[in-house]
Amino acid sequence: MIASTCSLLMLAALDLPAATAAVTPDSRVIEMLEGVSREELEPVVADLSGATPATIGGAEYSFTTRSSSSGVPIDMAEQYVFEQLSSYGLDSVVYHEFPPESGAPPGRNVIGQIDGTTRADEIVVLGAHMDSYPWNGAAPGADDDASGVSATLYVARSFAGHSFERTIRFAFFGDEENAPWVCDEIGSAGYAARCADAGEDIVAMIQADAIAYDPPESEARIGELVTRRPSNDPGGGDQAIAELWLELIEAYGIAGIEPQHVPSGNNWSDHGSFWNQGYPAALLVAEERDHWNPNWHSADDLVSTFTWPLYVPLTQSYLALAAHLAVIEALPEDTGSRDSDSGPETNDTGTPGHEGGCGCVAPGAWPPLALLTLLGLWLTGRRRAAPARRLSAQRP
């Protein structure tokens, strides 16, 4: 009883589709999910990990490393991601420069954006990291984290041309292997701090990191969504994201993985930088306690080791979660009870202009009255009628 009441409150707070009720599949998302395949995901991973030469600036380049201290190679990785994103026709693609931790040249994150339509100031961030480890020698980093980069690029490519109520950012971070979640300015730490300083309303951040390997002897392909512990998750935003993820896997019939919500508070990737700023966030990752990737942080982290029956459905779950967090625009004929096999899709690509960047919602505490109001709205099945404070406004 208490648990279900809590989940209701969390969903109302995030204004997510009701995870306690059945999620209604969207025909356009179904189509996008059907497009996720090894053939779509492998080329980017192969390029970034050196299995195939990448085309960057019109010339071929072969990666042996993407270490954050490598100079030219990490610069080339950033440019590769920038060029890939730029080819999709998003609303904007920019570099976000961050200062070096010590002595090195400035690093760069790459940020692509689809502007939201009716709730453009509410932002969903999808992340992955471009750099690899070890810092010296060969560092192909296929699973860690070219797998997340390729999945995030795929979602961006799939979403281009569709309209979403919320703004979506595709964030590719540098310097993850230097643990930005315990630093101030590098990589995702610098970016999350910049968002917070600008008062940006990030309603959810999902990091995809190391999502492509499972030992051959595994009996179950376990994918995890790691969140903070409920007791350490003010407002329950992480928990609501995880509930939605589980519901979506079931609703869309995403098969082949055993999804697990792990509320451990493990902050060892770029999502930790967003937790540090008080934003709801979660990490999508292959199970790693009993299903450890022995190639991790070595010259053997190669695309040839991938477990495609894990990587493909995990990417599908990531795409579905992103589409529902960002709230794909209702179809013109939609009356609120969308049927998964409803008629032909028409996509409204005429998004209203948005400055991008700094749509602000003033930080503030979460008042119980507003919470009850939102719960009432949720219970009557109505969309939120007026702007309301949400979890992301609760920065410490």
The residues of the shown chain that bind Zn ion, judged by CB under 5 A, are: 144-145, 209
Q: Report helix, strand or coil for 258.
A: strand
Our CB check for Zn ion shows the closer of 144 and 301 to be: 144
43 vs 95: CA distance, rounded Å = 23
What's the CA gap between 20 and 14, in Å, rounded?
Answer: 13
Q: Which residue, 101 or 209, is less far from Zn ion as judged by CB?
A: 209
Instruction: Give min distance, CB of 359 to Zn ion, in A.
Output: 30
How big, in percent rounded to 5, are the helix, strand and coil portions of the chain?
A: 35, 20, 45
What is the distance between the alpha carbons of residues 220 and 143, in angstroms, rounded to a whole number? 19
Distance of CA 64 to the CA centre of its chain: 26
CB of 168 to Zn ion, least distance (A): 22
The nearest distance, CB 269 to Zn ion, in angstroms, is 6
Minimum CB separation of residue 54 from Zn ion in Å reads 20
Burial 80-116 (b: 16+ CB within 10 A, else e): bbbbbbeebebbbbeebebeebeebeebbbbbbbbbb
What separation, in Å, do the N-terminal and C-terminal C-alpha atoms of the chain show? 29
Residue 319 Cβ vs Zn ion, minimum distance, rounded to whole Å? 20
Q: Which is nearer to Zn ion, 143 or 329 (CB)?
A: 143
Q: In sequence order, which residues have a C-beta less than 8 Å from that of residue 141 and are 6 or more positions away?
A: 48, 49, 65, 66, 131, 132, 133, 301
Smallest gap from residue 111 Cβ to Zn ion (A): 18
Q: What is the Cα Rg of the chain in Å?
A: 20
Q: Please report how many Cα atoms fall inside a 13 Å half-sphere around the Cα of residue 391, on the Cβ side.
A: 30
Which helix (H) or strand (E) is 196 found in, with range? helix 187-197
Min dist CB 223 to Zn ion, Å, is: 15
